[in-house]
Amino acid sequence: MSGIVIIGAGHAGVQLAASLRENGYRDTIRLLSGDPDFPYHKPPLSKSFMATEDAALQPLRGEAFYAQNAIDLRLGVDVARIDRNGKSVICADGATIDYDKLVLATGTRARNITVPGADLPQVFALRTATDARRMRDALPAMRHVVVIGGGFIGLEAAAMLSARGVQVDVIELAPRLLGRATSGAVASAIADHLTSTGVRLHLNQSISAIVAQDGAVLGVQLGDTTLPADHVLVGVGAIAMDNLAQEAGLSTDSGIVVDGFLATDDPDIFAIGDSVSFPQIHLGRQARLESVQNATDQARALARTLTGQPDRYTALPWFWSDIGTLKLQIAGLSEQPDQFIQTHDTHGMLKSVYHLKRGELIACETLNSAGEHMLSRRMIAEGLTPGLAELATGDLTQIKLAYQRLSDV
Amino acid sequence: MTRLVFIEPSGNRCEIDAADGESVMQAATAKGIAGIDAECGGSCMCATCHCLVVDAVNPLPDMQSAEADTLEFTAHQMHDNSRLTCQLTVTPTMDGTVFQVIGR
């Protein structure tokens, strides 16, 4: 038996290996990672990893875990192609690794910008530990940073840099931050928070060049003005790493296409995590999601399928982002909601936004309100919508009572 | 170094040395304690580091509201001695504390 080969050791790949063993899988598990670093948590890269110059990466699992569970973890392995007929993967160094089942957990790569100057050494992306180390080494020299892109990574980094006393300008192409990822109300609360810490936001703007002299960044070209900067962080989204699948003749759209059981067109090849386009039952269509929850829950579902308990992936999506002192939490997915209910804290700060569609609760965004988030996850997953008057109180006790009345029926 | 004890879901009892200043969750995952997925990495989001404190020489610090609220609505029943170990910082007074892993 050649066992299971997993390509990618991010949240999805590592959780799959763990769950396979928990479910009693006894054959070989090989976990191949193109990343040279021991598998690590990605969200802290923009935050705690930047806090001190020697902060260690936060391992997804300790080294003992791989040994105790007989997981053959190989780092820095570059897979060149998949041989579907031979059921093997061929590495860039020519090595061949056979599989019974292959799982692609290849994740995403940072989208690049193509303007002049994008390849200057003071221009950073922030996706891998290698990116984060490079940026951390430059932190002491940063006085004025332009962040290109008002998405989660850019805004988390903007808050971190601003807290260090760096002047930060964020440039966003759209008329608001965070695009379709949040409601307008949440985007504007986050904008207010960042502005209050000294971050300057430039919406409806795009840059035409990164301006440099003698190899050093001087600023970014914004229309006919130059916004001064000594470093630039680019956070303009991610692209699914689906090239191996594509070259092997498997279907791809925005990512690797899988069915509800996370299987590709080839019954021996599966795919999980950020790189996967799957039937999203809460949206009723094929979708790709980038989140830790999606990666780990898909891994658990696939582990059950691969150990003889076929499991359709239906988990409710949830998400979080720590932007300065704001913890944004999102339960559920919101597509064309027809009603919003906003609640505020005693200082008038936005605390939660409930999204409804045809009277049904479909999503909830919270800012520093963990209880409402956790309760919403449960309510949405169970398809229960308390009275709108109760939701509008934003009072955890009242919403909880309303939920309990519904769940007791 | 502070000595912590974990009872894994299998009933297996594991003693580990934890560095003061790291979280109990970080210490446990580094040593490969079974049942603690800690998928959110310590953001008080996933509750997969849920443990029961079954024996403690000294009382542990009180919970902040985010920890209490997150615990209240997790899949597993919250008990009087429930904690999210990502929110507990290892200190010498914790020496000998026994955690029963609930996980997810």
Say whether pLDDT at A64 is over 80. yes
CA distance A41 to chain B (A): 6
Domain limit, last residue, from A254, A278, A307: A307
Mean pLDDT for A113-140 is 96
Claim to verify: residue A250 and residue A329 sit in the same structural domain: no
Domain limit, last residue, from A307, A334, A355: A307
Say whether pLDDT at B104 is over 80. no
Domain enclosing residue A190, as ranges: 112-234
- Closest alpha carbon within chain B to A47: B43
Q: Which CATH architecture has domain B2-101?
A: Roll (3.10)
The pLDDT of residue A207: 94
- Does residue A312 form part of some domain? no
Say whether pLDDT at A180 is over 90. no
Give the CATH number of the domain where residue A302 resides. 3.50.50.60
- Does residue A318 form part of some domain? no
CB contact under 8 A, A374 and B72: yes
Claim to verify: residue A260 and residue A229 sit in the same structural domain: no
Q: How confident is the model at residue A314 (pLDDT cuts 50, 70, 90)?
A: very high
DSSP state letter for A59: B
Question: Which of A15, A43, A64 shows the shortest C-beta gap to B43?
Answer: A43
Claim to verify: residue A176 and residue A229 sit in the same structural domain: yes
More confident residue, A407 or A132: A132
Residue A122 CB partners (closer than 8 Å, separation 6+): A138, A216, A217, A230, A231, A232
Torsion of CA B38, B41, B43, B49, to 10 degrees: 20
CA distance A374 to chain B (A): 6
Question: Which of B34, B41, B65 shows the shortest C-beta gap to A58?
Answer: B41
Q: Per the structure block, which two tokens stand in for A2?
A: 């050649």
Claim to verify: residue A54 and residue A82 sit in the same structural domain: yes
Q: How confident is the model at residue B18 (pLDDT cuts 50, 70, 90)?
A: very high
CB contact under 8 A, B41 and A375: no
Q: Are A391 and A369 in contact (CB under 8 A)?
A: no
- Closest alpha carbon within chain A to B22: A58
The pLDDT of residue A162: 97
Claim to verify: residue A228 and residue A186 sit in the same structural domain: yes
Give the CATH number of the domain where residue A348 resides. 3.30.390.30
Chain A interface disruption, residue of B31, B43, B49, most A CBs within 10 A:
B43
CB contact under 8 A, A64 and B37: no
The pLDDT of residue B12: 94
CB contact under 8 A, B31 and A370: no
Type of residue found at A390: E
What's the domain count of chain A?
A: 3
- Does residue A317 form part of some domain? no
- Does residue A320 form part of some domain? no
pLDDT digits (tens, 9 = 90+) for B35-91: 898 999 999 988 999 999 999 989 999 999 999 999 988 777 889 999 999 999 999
Claim to verify: residue A228 and residue A377 sit in the same structural domain: no
Dist. CA A382–CA A361, nearest whole Å: 10
CB contact under 8 A, B29 and A62: yes
Greatest distance between any 2 Cα atoms in chain A: 72
Entry pTM: 0.95
Chain A interface disruption, residue of B15, B26, B29, most A CBs within 10 A:
B29
User: Any idea which of A95-99, A319-323, B45-49 has the lowest mean pLDDT?
Assistant: B45-49
The pLDDT of residue A407: 87
Question: Which of A11, A65, A293 shows the shortest C-beta gap to B32?
Answer: A65
